[in-house]
Amino acid sequence: MQAKIEIVWPHGGADVEEAELANIVAYLFTDDALHVPPCDWGPSVRLWAALDAEPARFVKTGEKRFASDAGLRFPVWDFNDVDMSAARDPAHKLTLFVTVGGVPVAHNVWTHAADARTILPHPELPTGLVDTVPTGVDARIQIVWPHGNAPVDQAEKANITAVLFRRGTKEAIPPGLSWRPTVRLYTALNTDVGPVEGEGMAGTPRAVADGGFTYLVWDFSDVDVSAAQDPLNKIYFWVQVDDVPTYPNVWAHSSDARTIFPHADVPAESCR
């Protein structure tokens, strides 16, 4: 299933610096050709939001309705009165995406901000180490390092490093814990969806010592970032762990990472 945020509409058409609330609409597609799911299907479609480089949090479940466009009738999911006030401060950004319960999903990413680039000069350091396998993790991308420290408009490839913390804490994974989960990097270009869950690039664990602790990070090397050389393009990165509830942050790599999506997708056909 592909889950795409198609519309983020601040109340009253307000600018980012003034918007308090917004209505958000998501479409679901079954393939790249934009076929829609059956009319009578009613999955749980969930909206997630991440503030700056923090892990995403669940916001609310969407309300299904039927929309019409170009003579077609199809289901969409509404998320009304979503709090967008944090992005009124130009130092902050909100990153949004949706998931669908019970099925593997490829989703897009929507950023709402005056300046949506990710700037994280000081990566998060652990305050402790876990001693048992966590039942949920915060997956934080700590650094996106273009080869040769090239600027965005010149970089061809980058190395990316992420760390896992027990959900809601800064407790990292020690090398001595007999747990080596599969940690995957997901990439989405502009408003396109990323890979389906379970199909992202697998990372390589590495032990580091910092902040008084030795803990694991996961490296993703030689990631193609050349598309962002075009200032009209933006690349979004996030990390998920196979078979473990994951709350990722989202990293935006671009000269201008704001989402500009003037025309919603038109499905291939009406639902049946």
| Interval 139-175: pLDDT, tens | 999 999 999 999 999 999 999 999 999 999 999 999 9
Instruction: For residues 132 and 20, state if they share a domain.
Output: no
Q: What is the mean pLDDT of residues 3-19?
A: 92
Report the C-alpha gap between 139 and 247 in whole angstroms: 6
Q: What is the mean pLDDT of residues 238-253?
A: 96
pLDDT of the residue at 240: 97
Q: What is the mean pLDDT of residues 177-191?
A: 96
**Residue recorded with tokens 């500009």:** 260
Is residue 57 in a domain?
A: yes
Domain hosting residue 52, numbered range: 2-112
Instruction: For residues 100 and 187, state if they share a domain.
Output: no
pLDDT of the residue at 221: 98
Longest dimension (CA), the chain: 62
Cα dihedral 105, 59, 192, 15 in deg (nearest 10):
170
> Looking at the predicted structure, is the pLDDT value of residue 260 above 90?
no
Is residue 192 in a domain?
A: yes
| Cα angle 187, 192, 197; round to 5 | 50
Instruction: For residues 136 and 100, state if they share a domain.
Output: no
Written as six digits, the tokens of 232 are 């009209």
Instruction: For residues 103 and 171, state if they share a domain.
Output: no
Instruction: For residues 18 and 93, state if they share a domain.
Output: yes
| Cα angle 121, 124, 128; round to 5 | 160
pLDDT of the residue at 265: 93
**In the chain, pLDDT over 90 holds for what percent of residues?**
85
Is residue 141 in a domain?
A: yes
| Averaged pLDDT of the chain | 94
Report the C-alpha gap between 78 and 60 in whole angstroms: 10
Phi-psi region of 71 (alpha: psi -120 to 50; beta: other; left: phi over 0): left
Written as six digits, the tokens of 45 are 């479609």
Instruction: For residues 249 and 135, state if they share a domain.
Output: yes
pLDDT of the residue at 256: 78
Q: Pick from 112, 144, 173: which residue ends a domain?
A: 112
Q: What is the mean pLDDT of residues 81-97?
A: 94
> Looking at the predicted structure, is the pLDDT value of residue 55 above 70?
yes
Is residue 135 in a domain?
A: yes
Report the C-alpha gap between 205 and 215 in whole angstroms: 10
Q: For the ranges 11-15, 73-77, 190-194, 261-265, which has the lowest average pLDDT? A: 261-265
> Looking at the predicted structure, is the pLDDT value of residue 209 above 90?
yes
> Looking at the predicted structure, is the pLDDT value of residue 122 above 90?
no
Rg (CA), the chain: 19
Which CATH number do you get for residue 242?
2.60.40
Domain count, the chain: 2
Bridge partner residues of 206 (DSSP): 217
> Looking at the predicted structure, is the pLDDT value of residue 119 above 90?
no
Instruction: For residues 134 and 242, state if they share a domain.
Output: yes
Q: With cut-offs at 50, 70 and 90, classify the pLDDT of residue 128.
A: very high
pLDDT of the residue at 121: 63
Structure-model confidence comparison of residues 60 and 122, the more confident one: 60
Is residue 75 in a domain?
A: yes
Closest C-alpha among 10, 159, 37 to residue 96: 10
